[in-house]
Amino acid sequence: MDGIQARLRAAAAAGGRGLVLAVVSLVGSLLLFVLSVLSLVFVVLGVGLLTTPPVLRLVQEQANRRRLLAAEWSDVRISASYRPFPADLRSGLPGQVQRCSLLLKDPATWRDLLWLPVDMIFGFATAVLTAALLLYPLEGLALAAGLWRVFEGGGYWYGFVPISGQGSGFAAAALGLVILAVGLYAAPLVLRAHFLIAKSVLAPGRDAELARRIDHLTETRHEAVDASAAELRRIERDLHDGAQARLVAMGMDLGTVEALIERNPAQAKVLLAQARKSSAEALTELRDLVRGIHPPVLAERGLGDAVKALVLRLPLRTDVDAELPGRLGASVESAAYFAISELLTNAVKHAEADRVWVDLRYADGSLRIAVTDDGRGGARIGAGSGLSGLERRLGTFDGVLAVSSPAGGPTMVTMEIPCELS
């Protein structure tokens, strides 16, 4: 029974999504295709230099939304490989002309433009078929219920059944039930085919994808080296200003105690107590420093238990659901732990959340993490934001980060890190 209900829900969801995609594919892609063609034609007149960049940005947004829906609705991953604009891009008219030139030289732009007519035709057809497999049977049932009278003698056909009376209405209902039975299984597959068609056009070729990944990994490795150097400087500074200073002060106190122990025992006891306090504080600082580098609970019990221990210190209700069949590599566990820690800190400090959910899963060779809060939303990946730093750190492992945070909340941050169980 549960399997049947799950099948019905999946088919119903696919049908509704097919309707949405049918409208978006026909109206959105058609409009953007016409605007793109007109704008490119007007480039030779000079006007297109100003209109092409914003139009192509809309095309990119349309393609990126389809990539997002492909991942969320059918687990089809369509990578994007747009070339970034240089940081020294000029402003005003010269910058607009340069921006137009860079967009037109980007192979990803032409893949997007090629995808628009494909989406209008094949994307629309597969989206409509997904919905029709579930909606068309309803007409057959309606014909059997009496709708056949409207078409009696009019030469109306339902599929291959001519409608002429109650008997043909029952035949239409039987055909509708067969189509519905097929649709319950086929609708999700047809919806997936819609996204696979988009992937065949939007995704870069194997060589382009490999070159992009090499460039990305080279960049993230450089960032990782810089981050490691900065972390070493931070550790050195914390040791110098914290534990080292306390140990030096304790050594001076012990030297004074040695000089006073015979002629002023009372003062020597005071200094001994002060030295003992300094040693305890130095030990605490060293433990905190070690915990900041690699928490002992993470090394001893793994990522799931370490996150559960982490949330115990939060001033809000946090639910952790961890399904990890084994231990991950130490570097992956450390990166995931501190990423989750930063997201939880953001939920407390900035989101004004009352509750947080943390979900950890390992599947298909990747660690998948979702951190959701019921705060005010509005989180964005941008220059200077903590999420941008997280994205760069995950990039060291060829990981990805996605954020869904509408105004008013909730905020959901998902991370995926390719890795192997140890």
Q: What is the CATH number of the domain that holds 307?
A: 3.30.565.10
Could you tell me the pLDDT band of residue 223, with boundaries at 50, 70 and 90?
low
pLDDT at 354: 83
CB 311 within 8 A of CB 358: yes
Least confidently predicted of 16-25, 75-84, 262-271: 262-271
Is the pLDDT confidence value at 292 over 80?
no
Out of 293, 322, 356, a domain closes at 293
Most confident among 83-92, 260-269, 285-294, 301-310 (mean pLDDT):
301-310
To the nearest whole percent, how much of the chain has pLDDT over 70?
A: 80
Report how far residue 401's alpha carbon sits from residue 388's, in angstroms, rounded to the nearest whole number. 9
Q: Are 351 and 393 in contact (CB under 8 A)?
A: no
Task: With CA atoms as reference, report the closest residue to 370 among 331, 410, 334, 406.
Answer: 410
- pLDDT digit string, tens, across residues 257-286: 677 777 777 777 777 777 777 777 666 666
The answer on 259 and 311 residing in a single domain is no
The answer to whether residue 346 scores a pLDDT higher than 60 is yes
Do residues 316 and 180 both lie within one domain? Answer: no
- Specify whether 308 is located in the same domain as 286: no
User: Would the pLDDT of 29 be above 60?
Assistant: yes
Residue 330: the pLDDT is 78
The pLDDT of residue 275: 73
pLDDT above 90 (res 124): yes
Output the pLDDT for position 227: 56
Judge if 166 and 34 occupy the same domain. yes
Q: Does residue 271 share a domain with residue 197?
A: no
CA distances from 394 to 200, 257, 338, 388 (A): 27, 52, 11, 10
One domain, residues 237 and 386 = no
Q: Answer yes or no: do 284 and 305 share one domain.
A: no
Residues 254 and 311 in one domain: no
CB 360 within 8 A of CB 304: yes
The enclosing H or E element of 370 equals strand 366-373
- pLDDT value of residue 196: 93
pLDDT-based confidence at residue 88 (cuts at 50, 70, 90) = low
Task: Among 225, 258, 293, give the residue marking a domain's end.
Answer: 293
> Locate tokens 């306090």: which residue?
277
For the purposes of burial, counting CB atoms within 10 Å of the CB of 298, is it exposed (0-12), middle (13-18) or buried (19 or more)?
buried
Average pLDDT score over residue span 79-90: 72
Q: Which pLDDT score, from 0 to 100, does residue 119 have?
A: 93
Show which of 293, 321, 351 is a domain's final residue. Answer: 293
Same domain for 35 and 157, yes or no, is yes
Chain centroid to CA 359: 14
Measured between alpha carbons, how far is 414 from 422 in angstroms, rounded to an integer? 23
SS3 358: strand
Q: Let me know whether 26 and 110 are in one domain.
A: yes
* Residues in CB range of 231: below 8 A, 6 or more apart: none
Which residue type, as a one-letter code, is found at position 266?
Answer: A
Residue 330 sits in which domain range? 298-418
pLDDT value of position 59: 92
The answer to whether residues 120 and 103 belong to one domain is yes
Does the pLDDT of residue 240 top 80, yes or no? no
- Asked whether residue 9 falls in the same domain as residue 158, the answer is yes
What is the total count of domains within the chain? Answer: 3
**Other residues' Cβ atoms within 10 Å of the Cβ of residue 328:** 20
- pLDDT of 242: 62
